[in-house]
Chain A
Amino acid sequence: MNYQSNLEKFLSEGKFVITTEIGPPKGADASKIRDKAMLLKGSADAFNITDNQTAVVRLSSLAGSVILLQMGMEPIMQMTCRDRNRIGLQSDVLGAAALGVRNILVLTGDHQSFGNHPAAKGVFDVDSIQLLQIIKNMRDAGIFQSGDPLLAERPNVFLGAAANPYADPFEFQVERLQKKIDAGAEFIQTQSVYNTKKFVRWMDDVHSQGLDKKVHILAGVTPLKSVKMTERMKFHVPGTDVPDTVYERMKHASDPSKEGFLIALEIIDELKGLAGIRGIHITALFWEEIIPKLVNEAGFIPRIK
């Protein structure tokens, strides 16, 4: 069997996968990415490189992905629809594939009003579902969005998307996952899970419709570092659901970062046993150093060879 990437190979072979995330720097210093990558090497099987996350200008996800490739690590290049139209996006898919990127995670992207250039014009020429379909057609049918044929190599990439079990309207989220699968998503990384009860309800629906057989689902986990961060996630970050029990535990903890770590371990423990969960996606932006410890104590070390 020919796989596009190790990530696809591991998931297809039924191995339990760990992915994590690296945010590129607000500058041109490649060593910032290399340092984070060195820290995380061996703690995960593939590494998301974010695409100007929260609409803040950073080193590009394509360049960040190539830096990882140079280090012998496997990137998952994130692509959002906010900053490029269909011409720019398709061009970057070709460029990334030519440079050896084999996993692409497609997102619509955070609105520009959240970032450091609120005066920018958001592009949003296509949305995440349309971009999935565009890349799938480039790869499988050898055609661009317009129907024009690709003339040289097709981009052989493994395609991912995000899913949010906590989004409104709740009852539509499974349909939307189905749409992403239909459009071309082969793996899914979910929104960070704090409310496991609601997540299980969503997974039950996903499972009962057989969607977990059609797509590899990685559950998102983000350890809480402080009460302040918990409050930000609970009250300000759109689409997250931090239950009161978690908030109370963080508030009353003598060492909140230790408590946040324990909560993350408990969540991972609950998620890894769920039918249909094929891996964990750990994000800890600006707290990356906790990830190796978390992965280790969750019993996921050593990683797949």
Chain B
Amino acid sequence: MIVTKQKNFQAILSAVGSGPVFIAGCNECAELCGTGGENQVLAMKKALEEKNIQVTGWIVLEPACHLQNDKRLLKSHENEIDRAKKILVLSCGNGAQTVAELATTKEIISGTDTLFLGEIVRANEFQRRCSLCGECLLDSFGGFCPLTLCPKSMLNGPCGGSSQGKCEISKELECVWDRIYQELKKRGNLLGLTVIQKPKDWSNACEMVRRI
């Protein structure tokens, strides 16, 4: 899932200015991490109105990154959008850009910061898992991605700074190399760690379009 965090309300306020504004949320990732579902959209509407900013309308897109769905859903709110000067998008950075493609005469405000592609650990906790690098390396590492989970992206780790399984940069962070070592040991596959992993081919991460 794409994990987002709502921007600080003061920052949103200063971007919205005097409005009027239309609010667009998203019913998938942003709803799951509590940044852009109906509840958050309505709460944002209320908060803006309390600051005397006119909210011309709102919608929860299905999902915001879907261009064709957005086209249809935004059309159904055409009049409300027409009355707005700005559109505040409560989705990931992708959703905001998809809306920007369609609402070409409106100022687009992204109300969230997009953090990572991650796991829903529990309803209120999300953890980074994937860097979208274009060439999955998990097979060599017991199913854990050092490129993403090691702050130094070491493919031939560990770096030597971890202590009792915790990363040197934060005691909150598990050393993924410690984990990889323990997992491969359990699976009797430690020999794999003696192979020198070659530098990654980043040309795979340059794809801009995929067609099927």
Contact = CB atoms under 8 A, between A and B. Distances in A.
B162 A178 contact: no
A60 interface: no
Nearest to A191: B160
A282 B122 CA distance: 49
Contact of A238 (B154, B161, B194, B199): B161
B168 A111 contact: yes
Interface in A116-133: 122, 124-130, 133
A177 B160 CA distance: 11
B158 A111 contact: no
Contacts of A238: 160-163, 168
B interface bracket (residues with beta carbon within 8 Å of A): 20 to 34
B196 A129 contact: yes
A280 B200 CA distance: 35
A108 B154 contact: yes
B51 interface: no
B194 A167 contact: no
B196 A168 contact: no
A287 interface: no
Nearest to A165: B160
Nearest to B168: A238
A168 B163 contact: yes
B169 A183 contact: no
A127 B160 CA distance: 13
A169 interface: yes
Interface residues of A, number: 37
Contacts of B168: 111, 238-239
B154 A175 contact: no
Interface string B183-212: 000000010011011111010000000000
A127 B157 contact: yes
B196 A182 contact: yes
A191 B161 CA distance: 11
A192 interface: no
Contacts of A295: none
A234 B169 CA distance: 16
Contact of B181 (A86, A125, A172, A179): A172
A132 to B, nearest CB: 9
B199 A167 contact: no
B154 A168 contact: no
Interface string A151-174: 000000000001110111100110
Nearest to B161: A238
Interface string B123-145: 00000000000000000000000
Contact of B159 (A86, A108, A145, A169): A108
Nearest to A80: B152
Contact of B194 (A113, A130, A178, A191): A178
B163 A130 contact: no
B17 interface: no
A37 interface: no
Contacts of B152: 81-82, 108-109, 111, 122, 124, 127
A129 B156 contact: yes
Given A108-B152, A124-B154, A130 B198 contact: yes
B151 A111 contact: yes
A167 B158 contact: yes
Nearest to B197: A130
Contact of B175 (A168, A176, A183): A168
A130 B193 contact: no
Contacts of B194: 175, 178-179
Output the residue of B163, B182, B199 with the most chain A CB within 10 A.
B199
B164 A179 contact: no
A264 interface: no
Given A114-B169, A172-B181, A179-B196, 4 more contacts: A125-B202, A168-B164, A182-B196, A239-B160
17 contacts: A81-B152, A111-B152, A114-B169, A122-B151, A122-B152, A124-B152, A127-B155, A129-B196, A130-B155, A130-B198, A134-B199, A162-B160, A169-B181, A178-B194, A179-B156, A179-B196, A239-B162
